[in-house]
Chain A
Amino acid sequence: METIRQSGGVGNGIKLALAWGFVGIPLVWGVVQTLVNAVKAFQ
């Protein structure tokens, strides 16, 4: 199997930040909402 070098640099960095932000922000928002509700429930 040929081992291949990674390239990309800044362009890839921006794409990665956008892609991860696109899925990460809603997920973090949902987890925070759940934790807030859990804390409220225990109070």
Chain B
Amino acid sequence: MAVLSFLRRERTVAAPGYSRWLIPPAALCVHLCIGQAYAFSVFNLPMTKLIGITQSGPGDWKLTELGWIFSLAIFFLGASAAILGRWVEEGGPRRAMFTAGLCWCGGFFLSAIGVYLHQLWIVYLGYGVLGGIGLGIGYISPVSTLIRWFPDRPGMATGMAIMGFGGGAFIASPLSVWLMSRFSTPAHVGVAETFVALGLIYVCFMMVGAAIVRVPPPGWAPEGYVAPLQPSRLITTENVFVYDALKTPQFWLIWWILCLNVTAGIGVLGQASAMSQEMFRGQITAVAASGLVGLFSLFNMVGRFIWSSTSDYIGRKNTYFVFFALGTVLYALVPYAGALGSVALFVLCYAVIFSMYGGGFATVPAYLRDMFGTRYVGAIHGLLLTAWSMAGIFGPVLVNYIREYNVTHGVAPAQAYNVTMYVMAGLLVVGFVCNLFVRPVHERFHMRAVEAEDEVAAAPVFGSE
């Protein structure tokens, strides 16, 4: 009972003197852990040798079967964020972070049992379903809290957290490899033990995040911050109820903006290694390609912070205009780089493309806040993440299909990606047009003042930052 009371939103209202700069690390505690999802592929090969140990034996799991674990996790990320968004928003960040921690780590423990018993369905249920739900709740849990603490820089604040999701793989990948090397023996692959160890590490981190997170008291504003007297036309001071947002064209335009930006990025992200080797045969080896992918992931992470922070100054709509216009040019330049044999131009194009891919994820919560207000922004963000789930399926399929079609029709592998790049550039043009149509939400969708009252309204107003 004491735990349940500790999780209540009322218990998370900040006391006087609480620094808002403690909120980004609280959010990072969660996002750095759930960002492990991007590094799950390090387990794929070891999990195909659980019986054969040195090589796949009879009865060992196949890569194609293992691929479903990540796909399920991303599907349940989108589904849980969409379904549980309102529950997350109304219950407060601590309850959501705590629940996300239990689901995420429970997913690892259940997967460890699945690996130990060699029952793949248990791993699907563990990492795919339970872990995926933890991903969804964890991803949206700090968003609205950050936006409320940083009304002057909402892009930067959410960008910091979402950068953590990109950065989680940088920690998880070497850590998982190291743990597996410690737990493996000549007769045993240490995957199950590594899952247990990761689950324990992540539960500690996520509970620290849940413990230090706070919501600002009603009426709180940062020192020196004065809300603009004449607010920008594209930044509302009203609130839209989560399910009313679905009735607005703005929600669906932003849904397509995110979907198209992610489709273009995720499609080539998965193929970056093979593409660089095929386009620059003899210049980029397999080992160098893996280094390149690491470098691109770094740009994906850094771009999340830089672009979302930039959006606080140039505006969200303009930031997406930059993504779509610059992205179109860069995608169209990639075949040219291949024809020239210029690895430097190729790397430069991709580095910027991946920074904008990450930037698209990180800037979208602030875009939603500008359109729909702060009251239900986390829940609306949860609904929007279905665009990510869709892009996660559509992007790689599109890239693989176009490449396959070209190769089977006699196009040399070095040129097989050219059409793909032009298709991606075309998708970004569509995204540009969607962004062009984004206008302020009509006032008939705004909540009445009484409806918008926060449930912590009764809490005392403190003098803090």
Binding site for B on A (CB under 8 A): 1-8, 11-12, 15-16, 19-20, 22-24, 26-27, 29-31, 33-35, 37-42
A residues within 8 A CB of B462?
A: 4
Which of B175, B208, B226, B291 meets A37, CB within 8 Å?
B291
Give complex CA distance A38, B45 in Å. 21
A residues within 8 A CB of B18?
A: 8, 12
Which of A12, A34, A40 meets B17, CB within 8 Å?
A12
Which of B22, B29, B464 meets A16, CB within 8 Å?
B22
A residues within 8 A CB of B226?
A: 3
A residues within 8 A CB of B66?
A: none
Give complex CA distance A34, B167 in Å. 11
Contacting pair A29 B171 (CB below 8 A): yes
A residues within 8 A CB of B337?
A: none
Give complex CA distance A7, B465 in Å. 7
Give complex CA distance A16, B18 in Å. 10
Closest 10 CB pairs of A and B: A41-B291, A30-B170, A30-B171, A19-B25, A38-B291, A6-B465, A23-B28, A7-B17, A33-B174, A2-B219
Give complex CA distance A31, B300 in Å. 12
In terms of DSSP, what is the predominant structure of the interface of chain B? helix
Contacting pair B291 A1 (CB below 8 A): no
Task: Kindly identify, within residues 18 to 74 of chain B, every residue whose CB is under 8 Å from any CB belonging to chain A.
Answer: 18-19, 21-22, 25-26, 28-29, 32
Using A27-B171, A31-B170, A37-B294 as known contacts, say yes or no to A2 and B26 having CB atoms under 8 A apart: no
Which of A6, A19, A26, A39 meets B212, CB within 8 Å?
A19
Contacting pair B291 A39 (CB below 8 A): yes
In terms of DSSP, what is the predominant structure of the interface of chain A? helix
Q: Is residue B117 contacting chain A, with contact meaning CB distance below 8 A?
A: no
Task: Kindly identify, within residues 178 to 236 of chain B, every residue whose CB is under 8 Å from any CB belonging to chain A.
Answer: 205, 208, 212, 219-227
Contacting pair B223 A5 (CB below 8 A): yes
Binding site for A on B (CB under 8 A): 16-19, 21-22, 25-26, 28-29, 32, 164, 167, 169-175, 205, 208, 212, 219-227, 287-292, 294-295, 297-298, 301, 461-465
Contacting pair B19 A3 (CB below 8 A): no
Contacting pair B223 A4 (CB below 8 A): yes
Using A16-B22, A34-B294, A42-B288 as known contacts, say yes or no to A23 and B29 having CB atoms under 8 A apart: yes
Which of A7, A11, A30 meets B167, CB within 8 Å?
A30
Given contacts A5-B465, A34-B174, 15 further A-B contacts (CB under 8 A): A4-B464, A6-B464, A8-B17, A23-B29, A24-B25, A27-B28, A27-B164, A27-B170, A34-B298, A37-B290, A38-B291, A38-B295, A38-B298, A39-B291, A41-B288
Using A27-B170, A33-B174, A41-B288 as known contacts, say yes or no to A1 and B227 having CB atoms under 8 A apart: yes
Using A15-B19, A16-B19, A41-B291 as known contacts, say yes or no to A7 and B464 having CB atoms under 8 A apart: yes
Contacting pair A3 B225 (CB below 8 A): yes
* Minimum Cβ distance to chain B for residue A5 (Å): 5
Contacting pair B32 A23 (CB below 8 A): yes
Contacting pair A4 B221 (CB below 8 A): yes
* Minimum Cβ distance to chain A for residue B204 (Å): 10
Give complex CA distance A1, B221 in Å. 7
Which of B25, B294, B301 meets A20, CB within 8 Å?
B25
13 contacts across the A-B interface (CB closer than 8 A): A2-B219, A4-B221, A5-B223, A5-B463, A8-B17, A12-B19, A19-B26, A19-B212, A22-B205, A23-B28, A31-B170, A31-B301, A34-B295
Contacting pair B19 A23 (CB below 8 A): no
Give complex CA distance A3, B41 in Å. 48
* Minimum Cβ distance to chain A for residue B218 (Å): 9
* Minimum Cβ distance to chain B for residue A27 (Å): 5
Give complex CA distance A4, B172 in Å. 40
B residues within 8 A CB of A8?
A: 17-19
A residues within 8 A CB of B224?
A: 3
Contacting pair B17 A27 (CB below 8 A): no
* Minimum Cβ distance to chain B for residue A36 (Å): 9
* Minimum Cβ distance to chain B for residue A42 (Å): 5
Determine the residue in chain A with the shortest Cβ distance to B23. Answer: A19
Contacting pair A2 B170 (CB below 8 A): no
A residues within 8 A CB of B164?
A: 23, 27
